[in-house]
Amino acid sequence: MARLIGGIGTSHVPSIAAALDKGLRNTDEWKPFFDGYIPAQDWAAAAAPDIAVVIFNDHGNAFFLDRVPTLALGVAESYDPIDEGWGPRAVPSFQGAADFAWHLADQMVARHFDPLICRELQVDHGMQVPMELIFGRPAAWPVKVVPILVNTIQYPIPTPQRMWELGRVLRAAIESWPTDEKVVVLGTGGLSHQLQGARAGYINPAEDRKWIADIGPNPARYRDMTREDYVEVFGSEGAELIMWLVMRGAMDIQVKTLFRHYFAPASMTGAGMVLLENL
């Protein structure tokens, strides 16, 4: 059977991609942020997963406000990085784990999750950035991918409890997949930020640090919070953090937090990462 070898939660802020594109990796401003990912990159290189399931939201790039799927699943053979308006990026196309994705589609529907099934999809910074943070800038990605897209853009967004349950379904799908493939799950988004409205610019580093410390050992509070709690505590776009719950729900109740990293930002967004393993 396939095996879940780890869960990673990470920000997917687009300025991370811009910093890489502009060669700012080692500047005083960015080096502490990127250096915090080195242990996760080393872990991924050593663990050599075959498949990365990436949970993220599209930001009005593949879908717009005329059609907003609450939940979408990619079953394509490949995914091109989408041009978000600054021109094509030097990021290779992603090879899809199409067979496993169809199995996951079947298992999701069997367990009453009904995603929009995408045979063609371009992926934005929500997936590009986490993949670059964990796997660097290879000529070809070392893993196949399965994108799971969650609407965190336009209310009503799904509940945190539902995201956790989706993680349980994902785990069952991995463990009923009859190969010996190794799977890593990446939950993306956050940390605290708000890009709109009266609280535009809001971040909450204290709650971000608590999240990074507790999402491994003490996730119950985060599973039980309402959507409105997420908006209040983490900001309207910080509510993207519900997507980490898919990753956390897929893991065992007891996990080991191998690495954690928080970058106290001089920008609009709290940024960070955790890497979890089952015991």
Active site residues: 125, 193
Q: Which residue's CB is nearer to ligand DHB, number 12 or number 261?
A: 12
Q: Which residue's CB is nearer to ligand DHB, number 74 or number 189?
A: 189
- Number of residues that make up the chain: 279
Q: Which residue's CB is nearer to ligand DHB, number 129 or number 173?
A: 129
Select from 59, 162, 171, 227 the one that contacts ligand DHB (CB under 6 A): 59
With contacts defined by CB under 6 A, name the span among 6-14, 72-80, 164-172, 210-218 that binds ligand DHB: 6-14
Q: Decide: is 216 part of the binding site for ligand DHB (CB under 6 A).
A: no
Structure tokens at 98: 């199409």
Q: Decide: is 193 part of the binding site for ligand DHB (CB under 6 A).
A: yes
Q: Decide: is 62 part of the binding site for ligand DHB (CB under 6 A).
A: no
- Count of residues engaged in binding ligand DHB, rule: CB under 6 A: 11
Q: Which residue's CB is nearer to ligand DHB, number 207 or number 237?
A: 237
Select from 2, 4, 5, 13 the one that contacts ligand DHB (CB under 6 A): 13
With contacts defined by CB under 6 A, name the span among 34-42, 98-106, 187-195, 224-232 that binds ligand DHB: 187-195
Largest CA distance in the chain: 51
Nearest residue to 155 (alpha-carbon basis) of 237, 248, 73: 237
Select from 113, 269, 273, 274 the one that contacts ligand DHB (CB under 6 A): 269
Q: Decide: is 268 part of the binding site for ligand DHB (CB under 6 A).
A: yes
Phi and psi based region of residue 87 (left: phi greater than 0; alpha: psi -120 to 50; beta: remaining): left
Residues contributing to the site for ligand DHB (CB under 6 A): 12-14, 59, 189, 193, 195, 237, 240, 268-269
